[in-house]
Structure 1
């Protein structure tokens, strides 16, 4: 029973004829530089060729594995691989089986060019390599379609699994799907299986899948099709598919797109959506990396793509526009500190203050204050309530790439430094209008002409989406002058806001003054508490990173570990606090251990000293 290329070609034709521009045409006006691939594989001539304007190419998404760098393009073999047949010369390079299968399949469906990262990016060429990592989203979005090799554990397993491929058969394909199952049941079963593959568990494949607009997915000894408008399995007769009418296609939700980025599974609004960014980071951060220090590179395509609409772009994975609030990320369950494998600690970019340095489940609710300009979905238990949590700048931050390089100021926008809900007294920024909202908790809502249908709770900076992207910044250090203090460690308890334990912060008089969310697994919990009691003398060193305030309304419980503690001042109405980091010192550098809050009035009494801090 063969897997037939005929069915793949029929899927492509069906998509082109029925879906049209809804799934994009795979052609770009500029395929050079950061906008697309620098090099492509010519499957007919067996060599690398420079990408050219409007190149039509297929992309491959696969598990890299732990193979030698010899199975890739390096400065040593780069010239040889540009010669005709150079890629097929075993004395120059050995193609892993999955790569060979992909090249043969591309040739059999009548396409000439394929993009495969290990050969189309020169692996030991720094600047060009980084530019291509930043362009990864555009590379996959610009592909005609993407081959997803989820069948095996590494590139030696091949594309097809146990079933051979028939490159010329005109017979109907056969599959191992159970007879009698409906197409919906088959596709659901295949989707569940895909989520259990090693390919799905890898960090690098996250953005590759997200940006690809057409996917031919090999896994579970079968092949499936996914595009922006449809999904098929190989036993399905697509010739009976009902054509999608223009009226139906017009009803498919489609967000305003950034210029020159084709329609993909990852459509991007024309304004920054922190709700969505929080979900993306949370999903990505659960995935695995062979080399933890690659985390920001594996996310660089997304960051580059989003930087067109996020003013200031990203600093080590944190949006610069709302940097204070972005620093407040918290774990949902224990997050493990990423440690460099192939690079020295001084070369790796894994700063403790960024989520990127910690693998595991990030609590997306901890970024609600960064997204409070957006309307939250109505909560059944707390109707007509919106997030009141604000983060207020109190510290001027600077970042640096290393300890000796120049320090540059973090540019936090004033709208996020001191957010004001429903403020119509000040002149509105250009492009904004105010609309009365008498039936909602916010009496006034705002609209911007870039997306007139979407309401905002206050005007935010909207970046001109026609400008070039802002390359992601990989900074190792943050610098500031801030207040610090020692507070006593109190009782620990299980919080409702996450699966992590929390510890109360107490004054010298044993009065409740704040809380920290601890990042530890249950088996280490007692050891951590004992270390606090002995090594730290029962006192924790805390530094101020920003201020905050929240109203006493039930919807906020999901974000605050202290919400139901007897000493929490929220019971009096407005709860004002200082956001603090518990830090530890190593060779004069402070590192994040945990994040929490201290009552504003108490902090003003105990944190009377200022300190120059470098956070690593």
Structure 2
């Protein structure tokens, strides 16, 4: 088989001891240096040979012997898992395969054949061997990949990696793992990063009340004494005690733990600390993450001997040390840390993180993500501030290093990811997000209102539910915590549509104190064209084919904004107030219209050019109908029809003007007074033929087929429900601008709570 370099003839090597007849013929050294799939494909298209013909095996299954065809491409067939299991006592590579599979599925090798693997019966599982290039490795280095598939259709349902271990440090290649954490390796990883201004001790303005040991005010004096933690009744929680051992083990001195370092019954100090979480995380040398464990008593696997964690198995084949690879955060098992609300900013703002889990250790930094069974890469100081393509900007720079992504898009993404997290106390909703808001406040140049950027408030109001939402209530009083117009007022995952078309405001805000009217453009400080009140000249450029244009200041092309905005609030706007201190009612003037609806299925994707019909069943999607019963828009309500939204006609407020569909947008901005649509208002009835396409082809293709006379042909709208003279937001959507004006809208003042 000289034309198959991945195979060995038995005469090519004398070191075949402890290998079965199948494994004797595998050229492991070749596989660890070559792309098997590419080589096999090249051989296949060149004609191959008669040895490439598929072979058949017989398998006794369900009372009869059945022929199954074993394909040759794209991997090397190892055989049935049951056969590999039977050979594992005599073949060391087969034994490694069995051990690796058992570790992956968290069982013992002895019990492996008695369970279903990924819901497939053990006798029907077939194994094959392939290769996968090591990501980021400088040389062409490959891992071995064991593919598990079903013999009936050869559907591959799982892959398990094996890697070569290197005795000396070769970045990105395999490393030895022991039962207890190798603290020296962890210390080497932490200390290789150069100190920066955000390192501990480098903060010029110390945080008021910051401490590294605490409990309650009553114990504060006692706990400041050396060794006092050991005297706490019942001892320290295991996770905290293990964290202390870990910090000591890597040669560091200080540890910050929120439950001990924040005075829990001192609201003034507690508020200061919570509002400064961005400073705490960005100043930390590294953040230790307990990946699993539903309480502080779960401990950190691997810190202590015999604490139970991932097992590395080794075998030497012809002088090559092979071992199973770690897979952090598996598809099965608890993931408590990833689901909690408070951990979102912990992950986002930390400069570097060490994740400790029962299935191994994961390191995350600007150099990328690695695991403890891989030799860590050498850190390049030049990459500390500007990470390369494979790394991850950390410590709050996540929002600024993205380059072409506008700051509002970063905010929208952060809210989307955070909205799916869970909180024990609903009153913590904005507290647990405050660190992220602190980092983004300087980029957005204005403050936030209940988690909504005031410089882009008209766009932020358009957030959409993408699953069933429930009002967020106070844990004790059961009263509504936040206003209906803020995403923070609802529990559930939401999306802010800033990745689509540009949105041009059509509302005027009303000062909460003296009722003076003002626009977001005035609030941003836009004086004329692309010049702001601070004298800065802005430029406009497109982001990409699926995103609206962005604006940037002269000399700073990598910080993109949805609109020009001055660094400070204009002099004439400094007294303006969106809200009173004792109220969360937001007041603005807008046109509203009553429009009929019927149950619908359409939902807009996150890109402006596509529509689809998939929607979480918890969202009450409704199709908007004009007075002729034709489709004229879609709305998504926060709750389902059983939650008091049985009405078929709703009042909708026009928030901004926008466009949907690939052919219905212009580079020029629409007129601010919508004069173009008013000129066409009388001819709406005569254009019924064009609108009929929505019936013939469906809403999914409507916007690309309808020959609109208006380029910016839709309004972003909010569905309103009035309660005692105050409006509440119950849904959001869009309405064709011609249909909206045909519904005879009226301009009114809307107090939105």
Given the superposition, is the C-alpha separation of residues 595 and 123 from structure 1 closer, same or farther in structure 2, using an over 3 Å criterion?
same
**Counterpart in 2 of 1:224?**
362
Offset of residue 506 of structure 1: 3.2
CA RMSD of aligned residues (A): 4.8
Q: Does 1:117 align with 2:242?
A: no
Aligned to 1:463: 567
Alignment match, 2:186: 11
Alignment partner of 2:635 out of 507, 516, 536: 516
> What residue is the counterpart of 2:727 in the other structure?
590
**Per-residue CA distance 1:461-506 (angstroms, 9 max, x = gap):** 2537xxxxxxx99973322344444322235233335625632333
8 Å CA contact 1:311–1:320 kept in 2: the answer is: no
Aligned mate of 1:541, from 644, 651, 665: 651
The yes-or-no answer on 1:394 pairing with 2:394 is no
- What's the secondary structure of 1:113's corresponding residue? coil
Q: Following TM superposition, by how much is the alpha carbon of 1:121 offset from its aligned partner in structure 2, in angstroms?
A: 1.5
Match of 1:176 in 2: 311
Equivalent runs, 1:436-585 vs 2, <5 Å: 447-449=552-554, 451-452=556-557, 454=558, 460-461=564-565, 463=567, 476-490=584-598, 492-495=600-603, 496=611, 499=615, 502-520=621-639, 524=640, 527=642, 536=647, 538-542=648-652, 544-550=653-659, 553=662, 564-565=701-702, 571-585=708-722
Whole-angstrom CA distance in 1 between matches of 2:526 and 2:654: 14
- Return the offset for 1:367: 2.3
> How far off is 1:507 after superposition?
4.4
Q: CA 1:236–1:569 in 2, change beyond 3 Å: closer, same or farther?
A: closer
Change in 2 beyond 3 A, CA 1:248/1:417: closer
Deviates more, 1:564-573 or 1:494-503: 564-573
User: Is the 2:310–2:358 contact (alpha carbons within 8 Å) kept by the matching residues of 1?
Assistant: no
* Partner Cα distance (2:454, 2:552) in 1: 23
Q: Does 1:307 align with 2:426?
A: no
| Corresponding position of 1:353 | 485
**Residues matched between the structures, number:** 516
Give the equivalent residue in structure 1 for 2:51.
none
Contact persistence 1:23–1:264 (CA under 8 A): no
Gaps of 5+ in 2: 1-176, 569-577, 604-610, 666-693
Per the alignment, do residues 128 and 31 of structure 1 end up closer, same or farther by CA in structure 2, a change over 3 Å counting? same
Mapped pair 1:39 → 2:211: yes
Helix, strand or coil at the partner of 1:280: helix
Q: Residue 251 of structure 2 aligns to a residue in which SS?
A: coil
Which has the higher Rg, Structure 1 or Structure 2? Answer: 2
CA separation of 1:237 and 1:394: change in aligned 2, threshold 3 A: closer
Structure 1 segment 327-476 matched on structure 2, within 5 A: 327-332=461-466, 334-340=467-473, 342-346=475-479, 349-364=481-496, 366-368=497-499, 387=501, 389-397=502-510, 412-414=520-522, 430-432=535-537, 434=539, 447-449=552-554, 451-452=556-557, 454=558, 460-461=564-565, 463=567, 476=584
What's the offset of the Cα at 1:276? 1.8
Shift in alpha-carbon separation, 1:440–1:218, aligned structure 2, 3 A: closer
The answer to whether the Cα contact below 8 Å between 1:581 and 1:596 also exists between their aligned partners in 2 is yes
State the 1:164 CA deviation: 2.6
Does the 8 Å CA contact 2:595/2:626 hold for their aligned counterparts? yes
SS of match in other structure, 2:651: strand
Residues 79-119 of structure 1, C-alpha deviations (whole Å, 9 max, x = no match): 4433454443335x863221222223323433332111112
| Secondary structure of the corresponding residue to residue 345 of structure 2 | helix
**Alpha-carbon distance in structure 1 between the residues aligned to 2:418 and 2:323:** 27
CA distance change for structure 1 residues 215 and 441 in 2, over 3 Å: closer, same or farther?
Answer: closer
* Structure 1 residue 250 displacement after superposition: 8.6
Asked whether the 8 Å contact 1:488–1:505 carries over to 2, the reply is yes
Q: Which residue of 1 aligns with 2:287?
A: 146
Deviations 1:345-379 (A, max 9, x none): 45x63322111223333234x2236xxxxxxxxxx
Unaligned segments of structure 1, at least 5 residues: 42-47, 49-72, 168-172, 370-386, 400-404, 465-471
Residues in 1 aligned to 2:425 and 2:505: alpha-carbon distance in whole angstroms: 36
Q: Is the 8 A contact 1:432 1:459 kept in 2?
A: no
1:413-450 C-alpha deviation (Å, 9 max, x unpaired): 44979999xx67x799744465999x9999x9965345
Q: Which of residues 236, 239, 243 is equivalent to 1:102?
A: 243
TM-score normalised to structure 1 length: 0.69
Residues 511/136 of structure 1: CA separation in 2 closer, same or farther (3 Å cut): same
**CA 1:129–1:549 in 2, change beyond 3 Å: closer, same or farther?**
same
> Which residue of 1 is the match for residue 269 of structure 2?
128
Residue from 314, 320, 325 that aligns with 1:186: 325
Cα distance in 2 between the residues matched to 1:407 and 1:196: 52
Structure with more relative contact order (C-alpha pairs < 8 Å, separation 6 or more) = 1
C-alpha distance 3-330 of structure 1, shift in aligned 2 (>3 A): same
Distance in structure 2 (CA, Å) of the matches to 1:463 and 1:344 = 40
C-alpha contact 2:292 2:334 (8 A) present in aligned 1: no
The 3 A distance-change label for structure 1 pair 318 and 159 is: same
On the 8 A contact 2:200/2:283 being kept in 1, the answer is yes
The answer to whether the 8 A contact 2:190-2:285 is kept is: no
Match of residue 381 from structure 1 = none
What corresponds to 2:57 in structure 1?
Answer: none
TM-score normalised over the length of structure 2 = 0.58
Question: What's 1:58 paired with?
Answer: none
Alpha-carbon spacing, 1:294–1:546, altered in 2? closer, same or farther (3 Å): same
Specify the SS of the correspondent of 1:33. Answer: coil
For 1:184 and 1:432, the matched residues in 2 are separated by: 59
Secondary structure of the residue that 1:290 maps to in structure 2? coil
| 2: CA distance, partners of 1:253 / 1:394 | 42
The reply to whether residue 160 of structure 1 matches residue 301 of structure 2 is yes
Partner SS state of residue 289, structure 2: strand
Report what 1:198 is aligned to: 336
